Structure 1
Amino acid sequence: MAIPSPFSLLDSLFERFAAGPQAPQWLVHEVQHRVVLLLNHVLMQEPEAMERLVRQRGRVAQLRWRAYVLALGVTPAGLLDLAPAAAVPDLHLEITESSPLVLAQTALRGDKPPLRIEGDVQLAAEINWLVDHVRWDLEEDLARLIGDAPAHVVGDVARRAAQALRQFAAARSAPAAASSLTNP
């Protein structure tokens, strides 16, 4: 008799939670603004990223996952802004994996989520370059607040925790992959 995974229980709980009441529109809008601020903060630390985005100014990319949609426009400065509601997206990106736990495992392995891409190929290539090459230096930002040494300690602890999570995710996915190979 197969024992159900506790992750399947968490996944079903999330499904029920996601199908329930939706967040108020003002909250969704505020969260989207905060995401844009964070993305722009990271982009401003990488001048080449901004130069690449300047070439795409005025274009709109729409990211969709389940019922959640985020449409971002590229500004003339090479940064991002929420696209107007009436804007027609040049690029549609849809995350096809619906399970948040599978997405978390994918992220922990360092893989990209499965996407369905439609629209402007050049904009898609630039976004792919950004995803591959731009990283948030959280330790540097934390050092501005608490100093270099404490920020390095916090960063080291976070890196060790992330490595442990990656190893856990790899160990969880390895038996499942082996099982699927032996039981087609």
Structure 2
Amino acid sequence: MVTPSSPFSFLDDFINRVGSRLQPPDWVIHEVQHRAVLFLNHVLQQEPEAQQRLARQQGRVVEFEWRFVTMRVVATPAGLLDLAPEGVAPELMLVLAETSPFGLARAAVRGEKPAVRIEGDVQLAAEVNWLVDHVRWDVEDDLARLIGDVPAHTVATGARRVVEGLRQFVGERGGKPAGSAGDE
């Protein structure tokens, strides 16, 4: 959550005001969701155990919600995801409790999972949680296909160092509000 004294509170308020008023056309939303599903499937294909788990959940619909964004996906027999057909009731709803994009970014940098409100099938929720905990995108492998192994390893190592530095910075600053005694 962005605190009132946070330098991002102005931006957070601005995003809330603009985001609630401006809605992209339906075709843009569908296209972005389709691209998100393609990316998720790419990541899932790198983990056979994840595909086996999803294949056992075939036909089941999960709805993700964050602020004014909603996306429904269905598990396919191949153990991948597809956009759920319109009007299909979800068996599991996952709603991100953190509304601030900066709060989500902070949690991601710290390596924390955001708070999620869960409604629906407990077994399906456990499978989704397993996927979140165990499936990771191998960025270095994908980058190596484009630029080669050595440059990809160098870029990935540099990125890991930057992320670790951000984690340390956010961890040090996370518990202290601006203007507290520790800032002097």
Q: Same fold (TM over 0.5)?
A: yes
Q: Return the alpha-carbon distance in structure 2 between the equivalents of residues 28 and 158 of structure 1.
A: 30
Alignment of 1:22-101 (within 5 A): 22-101=23-102
AA of the residue aligned to 1:66: R
Greater relative contact order: 1 or 2 (C-alpha under 8 angstroms, separation 6 or more)? 2
Tell me, yes or no, if structure 1 residue 125 matches structure 2 residue 89: no
* The 10-residue stretch of structure 1 (145-154 or 165-174) with the greater mean CA deviation from structure 2: 165-174
Q: Residue 176 of structure 2: SS of its match in structure 1?
A: helix
Tell me, yes or no, if structure 1 residue 159 matches structure 2 residue 154: no
AA of the residue aligned to 1:22: Q
Unaligned runs of 5+ in 1: 180-184
Q: Return the alpha-carbon distance in structure 1 between the equivalents of residues 92 and 5 of structure 2.
A: 39
Q: Return the alpha-carbon distance in structure 2 between the equivalents of residues 135 and 124 of structure 1.
A: 18
Q: Tell me the CA shift for residue 121 of structure 1.
A: 0.8
Map of 1:20 onto structure 2: 21
Q: Residue 6 of structure 1: SS of its match in structure 2?
A: coil
Map of 1:182 onto structure 2: none
Q: Tell me if structure 1 keeps the 8 A contact 2:20–2:68.
A: no
Unaligned runs of 5+ in 2: none
Number of residues of Structure 1 aligned to a counterpart in Structure 2: 176
RMSD: 1.6
TM-score (norm 1): 0.91
* The 10-residue stretch of structure 1 (37-46 or 16-25) with the greater mean CA deviation from structure 2: 16-25
Q: Return the alpha-carbon distance in structure 1 between the equivalents of residues 152 and 121 of structure 2.
A: 40
Q: Tell me if structure 1 keeps the 8 A contact 2:59–2:74.
A: yes
Q: Return the alpha-carbon distance in structure 1 between the equivalents of residues 34 and 20 of structure 2.
A: 24
Q: Return the alpha-carbon distance in structure 2 between the equivalents of residues 58 and 86 of structure 1.
A: 14
Tell me, yes or no, if structure 1 residue 6 matches structure 2 residue 7: yes
AA of the residue aligned to 1:128: N
Q: Tell me the CA shift for residue 167 of structure 1.
A: 1.6
Q: Return the alpha-carbon distance in structure 2 between the equivalents of residues 88 and 174 of structure 1.
A: 41
Percent identity between matched residues is: 59
Q: Tell me the CA shift for residue 110 of structure 1.
A: 0.9
Q: Tell me the CA shift for residue 13 of structure 1.
A: 2.0
